[in-house]
Amino acid sequence: MSDQSFDVDAWRRELRDNRAEKDAFLDEHPQSPIAPEHREEFDGLAYFDPDPTYRVEATVTVHNDPEPIELETTAGPNVRYLRTVSFEFGLAGDTHTLSGYEQETADEESIFVPFRDKTTGQQSYRKGRYMELTPTTKLETGATVPIDFNLAYSPFCAFSDAFSCPLPPEENWLDCAIRAGERAPTFAT
């Protein structure tokens, strides 16, 4: 990690608070993807232990003329996104690249990063996980940004078939295990 100002203790507290907030949402919120009849057995999500190794510095490549891509979904129809940025980073002794997407009609500044890795279908949700990146400044080619896989989460379709979720495209299938973020849900739905 090249970020000299990174405070591991503050990071762990923020991550713990983020996870507690997510568990409370899933357990209590009317828009939770967990059906009300299953919430009594919900005892919180399973997470990989926080590991700063999975908070990586990624080099940005901005795609000024973004290429459209159709992402398959769990229940159709496909969803159209724009491939607006690529992130290159080192992890487990290798260099990896993930694409970041924005919906064509989106007004927000977040970047959608769906991915699969060697834990997919074993330790994490069988169809992949997501990250949402919200840069604090405009992304520029050559800049570096932190990507924290400890924030990787399962889409709502991991909790209920009532949701249709975009699937990570093959270009975002990592050939390494990302033992960070949410594990596969362990309760019945």
Residue 121 in this model has a pLDDT that exceeds 60: yes
> Any idea which residue has 């919200």 for tokens?
134
Asked whether the beta carbons of 126 and 138 are under 8 A apart, the reply is no
Average of pLDDT values for 152-163? 94
Task: List, for residues 13-22, the tens digit of each pLDDT value.
Answer: 999 999 999 9
> What pLDDT is stored for residue 4 in this prediction?
62
Running DSSP on this structure, what letter comes out for residue 76? Answer: S
Angstrom distance (rounded) from CA 33 to CA 167: 18
> What pLDDT is stored for residue 3 in this prediction?
58
Residue 2 in this model has a pLDDT that exceeds 70: no
Average of pLDDT values for 91-102? 96
